[in-house]
Structure 1
Amino acid sequence: MTEESSFGARLKALRLQRGLSQAALAGDEISTGYLSRLESGARQPTDRVITYLAKRLEVDRSAFDALPGGSSLAQGLGIATSSDTDEAVEDLIAVLATAQDEDPLLRWQALWLIARYWQRRGERTEEQACLEELAEVADELELPALQCRSRTQLARCLRSTGQVARALELAVQAYHEAQEAGLSTSDTGTALLALVSVEAEAGRLPDARAHAQELVELVAGRTDTLRVEALWSAATVSSRYGDDESAHAYLTQAMQALDSRVDPVLWARLRLAAASLYLQSRPALTEPARKCLTEAETALALVGTPVQQQELLVLQAHLAFEEGRYEDARAAHDRLDLDTLVLTYRDRIRLQTLDSLLMIVEGHQAQGLAQLKELGEEARRTSYLDLAAEIWRVLAETLENTGRSKSAAG
């Protein structure tokens, strides 16, 4: 790819990253036809146009530069792998957009890196599109390990966006591929992690519990993050079963097994998970939840992603509600920009559930109850049966408390 055509590829990649149409990027200064020819490489930009487009895209002019020493997929992949920076992955995205007749194994490796980039940024739509292609390339290569990894990651992505039925299908397939091909403990364990989480979301708790136990036994004796995540997964399933004692025991093991210096991000995420489980206990265990959130907040100030910062704020809002600090809960809720949320589907629904409960406390009872009913029905329609059951329980408790209040007033 020439330096001239590289400009067009970078321009198109930057535009798509920001979700802009050609018309939106062109604005009033240039035509969409001219912009299209720039992206295809048929026209070369003037300095004035480069400056204009950089301003529209909110990037420096250097963002359009070609990769040093050429821009083949192999070169772009090598640079992205060795530098481990977002800028290198963004260059790789531009190269991949124009790569043709490349080695499919190189393409798979590039897509794997790019999918992780989108995941870190919380860009679920882009991540899913990348993972869909990743799975297709893995099938073309007919390599069981790559097929298993691709479907595992795609299942995780679909679960986080509320597509639990298809996520379950892919997770089962990935797990069977791992078993049939005799893949490593790492691949099999990662596939099981995805399967357990999806089964739990789908309300298939007996299956989830059995697979969680299988997973914990599979990684017994290991000292890596896979064992930590296995214990975390088992804790989540135990909590869904209402077995808070086992859930807390698993989480305690997980937190004790991980040094913050080994993986500070996972260390902080474990604290968020523990706080969430403490707050979902009945009654809510607010003291240990507050301790976990304080520890997580300190760590995430240094290493947190936008996704984790939002998760922290959501849990702080839940904690304030459980402690009866309703104004603080509403303030934390309102600090979240609902149009730019990068939370998982479950966390989004739970945030809306909190909003409903706050409405009721604030005197908007009919509106809050109606929203709770809508959320329960939505969770049921999307096959998130466990989440739906949680919302219906909250609704029943709210109605019961409301009835008691009316009786006392009468």
Structure 2
Amino acid sequence: MLDQPHFGRRLRRLRLERGLSQAHVVGEGMSTGYLSRLESGERRPTERAVAYLAERLGVDVSVLTRPTDGSLTEVLAGALSAPSSTDSADALARALEDDEREDPAARWQALWLLSRINRRNGDHERELGQLLEIIELSDLLDSPELRARAYMQYARCLRALGKMQKAEPAAVQALAIARDGSLSVADTMAALMVLISIETEIGSMEAAGRHVEELERELLPAAAPSQAAEALWTAAMVSNRQGDHTAAQAKLDKALDLLDGKDDLTLWTRLRAAAAAAALQMAPARVDAAEHWLGEAESVIELIGTPLQVQELHALQAHLAFHKGELDDARARCTALLSDKGLRLSYRDRVRLTVLKGQLTILDGRIDDGIAILQEVGQQAADSKNLDLAAHIWHSLATTLTGVRASETADTTRDDCDAGC
């Protein structure tokens, strides 16, 4: 049974979204008067009318006939009180589609919850679309807190997608709103940390360094332990890129000591995975430390981690195996991830995994193929202004080729010695 007035509201919304007049929709098979009564909820549609309207609107019949879960406010309340927000994602998405947009604040909250679910699942493209509407609603509501958080998360999402040219101005906007509105330490720190991460990845190390000083001097002393740990981790990443691995390690150690797993198990786990990644990027790589931290993270992720977190763990395990010289293991993990059609990794993690594939290809003796892989992703990273990532790619190519040539030279010298003997 098709409920009214919900059916009529859905019908009208679909028509208006397509920019169609009632006359255009009805064509020759229906009167505009009948359509008006359907949209107003005065008439209940027949199955034949539903099929005809679905065809005219270019949608499946189910789009018009699916049951209504309730008002957006009701569905939102259910989602917020549910044991797991992910379980409510479908109902929330349907409620947003049927929403009449009469309560911008409720719509903002529903979109924010849904975007957070998509972020945790690694579906950043879908998250991006939701964040664009969240920004519009934040401007409409004229709330500095909501505007700062919307732009901050928008910048973070763009960064995850590798769209750095758009990510930087979004992060700058978030920080400006937080400062102009004299927002809380938490909001200001969140915006500043996203900006620092983006500046580091686009190669603006001088700006990143200045902002780290501001973060540590003005905001860190007043931060809660969980956010202080994130701030120290952000500062450590900058020190690592600047080549000051001693300072980076000290900040990482301090960040890890700030949190107990009982306080925030998700952040506790994420920081250990991040510390392992940072340790592998140091020169020389701190393989033992990375293995220890990754082992701690693995014990939690394998039990309660999301699919995205599991993939991030496996990617780090592939990098760790490579640094340990366990090339067969690294190759198997790398191949399995890159061939997974449900790969959810961020742009940066995907590229780093592809770099590993290129390095392994070179070490397998297919040097030209490996060089081609690394050159392609290196150019893509440079073109998208992921300059720190591009530098990592070219450095990986150079060091891998140097290692291969050194090995070849050693083999030639050994052969010459054997022949001379």
Does TM, scored on the shorter chain, surpass 0.5? yes
2:321 maps to what in 1? 320
Q: In 1, distance between residues paired with 2:169 and 2:316?
A: 31
Q: 1:343-380 deviations in whole A, cap 9, x for unaligned?
A: 11111111000000110111111100121112211110
**Pairing 1:6-405 to 2, within 5 Å after superposition:** 33=55, 36=59, 38-41=61-64, 44=65, 66-67=68-69, 71-83=70-82, 84-217=84-217, 218-336=219-337, 337-405=339-407
Percent of aligned positions that are identical: 40
1:127 to partner: Cα distance: 0.4
TM-score of the two chains, using structure 1 as the length reference: 0.84
Q: In 2, distance between residues paired with 1:317 and 1:176?
A: 40
Look up the equivalent residue of 1:244 and give its one-letter code: H
Matched-pair contact (CA < 8 Å) for 2:314–2:333 = yes
Q: In 1, distance between residues paired with 2:102 and 2:6?
A: 17
1:385 to partner: Cα distance: 0.7
Q: In 1, distance between residues paired with 2:227 and 2:60?
A: 48
Q: 1:184-240 deviations in whole A, cap 9, x for unaligned?
A: 111111111111111111111111122123223302243332111111111111111
Look up the equivalent residue of 2:248 and give its one-letter code: A
Q: In 1, distance between residues paired with 2:125 and 2:369?
A: 31
Q: In 2, distance between residues paired with 1:179 and 1:222?
A: 16
1:87 to partner: Cα distance: 2.3
Q: In 2, distance between residues paired with 1:375 and 1:89?
A: 35
CA spacing shift, 1:332–1:37, aligned 2, 3 Å = closer
- Gaps of at least 5 residues in structure 2 are 11-50, 413-421
* Structure 1 stretch displaced more, 31-40 or 157-166: 31-40
Look up the equivalent residue of 1:388 and give its one-letter code: A
Q: In 2, distance between residues paired with 1:96 and 1:2?
A: 17
Matched-pair contact (CA < 8 Å) for 2:108–2:137 = yes
Matched-pair contact (CA < 8 Å) for 1:265–1:303 = no
Helix, strand or coil: the match of 1:324?
coil
- Structure 1 stretches (4+) deviating beyond 6 angstroms? none
Q: In 1, distance between residues paired with 2:63 and 2:222?
A: 55
Q: Which has the larger radius of gyration?
A: 2
Q: In 2, distance between residues paired with 1:407 and 1:290?
A: 32
Size of the aligned set, in residue pairs, is: 366
- Gaps of at least 5 residues in structure 1 are 10-29, 45-63
Q: In 2, distance between residues paired with 1:120 and 1:259?
A: 22
Look up the equivalent residue of 1:173 and give its one-letter code: Q
Q: In 2, distance between residues paired with 1:296 and 1:154?
A: 27
1:402 to partner: Cα distance: 3.2
Q: In 1, distance between residues paired with 2:158 and 2:290?
A: 28
Look up the equivalent residue of 2:258 and give its one-letter code: A
TM-score of the two chains, using structure 2 as the length reference: 0.82
- The CA RMSD measured in Å over matched residues stands at 2.3
1:3 to partner: Cα distance: 7.8
1:242 to partner: Cα distance: 1.2
